[in-house]
Structure 1
Amino acid sequence: MMYIYITSTVALIMSMIMMLLCSMISKSSKKDQEKLSPFECGFDPKSSARTPFSIQFFLIAILFLIFDIEIAIMLPVILTMNISMNWMWLITIMMFILILILGLYHEWNNGVLEWAK
């Protein structure tokens, strides 16, 4: 038991020493403005990299990602249902699709899918 305590203490001390050494070595003495600027394929950026973008576009992109992932989750279930026709699989996938449809209806009802207001 004492061997475990000694080993874990030595490992903890060694990791702390390594973290301290890495933080001391990696500190740069001078932060260059060129290094902090955004990078566009070797050219100077034509406009600010911090320009705002449309929230509607962001929400549509998030919805696309959610439904894309849900389809990727449903494909193996559909293939499994072909092999074994189990009623639990059918109920599970129907509940899953029902939750997706209710989420889409909620988004549509809140006006998230309206592009122009």
Structure 2
Amino acid sequence: MEKVVVSIVLSVLLGLVLLLLGLFLGFSVFGGREKSSPFECGFDPVGSSRVPFSLRFFLLAVIFVVFDVEIVLLFPIVLGVGGCWLWVNSYLVLFVFLGILLVGVVHEWREGSLEWGE
């Protein structure tokens, strides 16, 4: 019990030291109009910053994030298949999960969200 308390106290102290070090090193006394503006290259901004973006690109980015998370969820199962420690129920859950993902990909494909060019 005593070792647990010591490790918790050391972890909290290390976190506080790193936080204070980051605040101290991140503090800047040099500032001005150029440093506070979003354009530091010396040119004045041209045009409006409210340019409309492509909704198709946004949907494609969301699809990418969904399938990126899916890879993270499948990674432990891939490691388990190599070691043969998965049970029959685990395989059933794996195939249901992959089936749901496959239905999602087919839906996005038929909807046209996966098309890059028009």
Tell me which amino acid in the other structure corresponds to 2:48.
Answer: S
Task: Assess, with a 3 A threshold, how the Cα gap between structure 1 residues 98 and 38 changes in structure 2: closer, same or farther.
Answer: farther
Structure 1: runs of 5+ lacking an equivalent: 1-33
Q: Does residue 64 of structure 2 align to residue 72 of structure 1?
A: no
SS where residue 113 of structure 2 aligns?
coil
Corresponding residue for residue 55 of structure 1: 55
Count the aligned residue pairs: 82
Unaligned runs of 5+ in 2: 1-32
Tell me the equivalent position of 1:97.
98
TM-score (norm 2): 0.58
1:42 is displaced (CA, Å) by: 6.3
**Alpha-carbon distance between aligned partners in 2 of 1:115 and 1:102, rounded to the nearest angstrom:** 20
Root-mean-square deviation (Å): 2.3
Q: Distance in 1 between matches of 2:105 and 2:76?
A: 22
Q: Distance in 1 between matches of 2:76 and 2:48?
A: 44
Q: Report what 1:45 is aligned to.
A: 45
Give TM-score scaled by structure 1 length: 0.58
Displacement of 1:52: 0.7
Larger Rg: 1
1:38 offset after TM fit, Å? 6.8
Deviation of 1:82 after TM superposition, in Å, equals 3.0
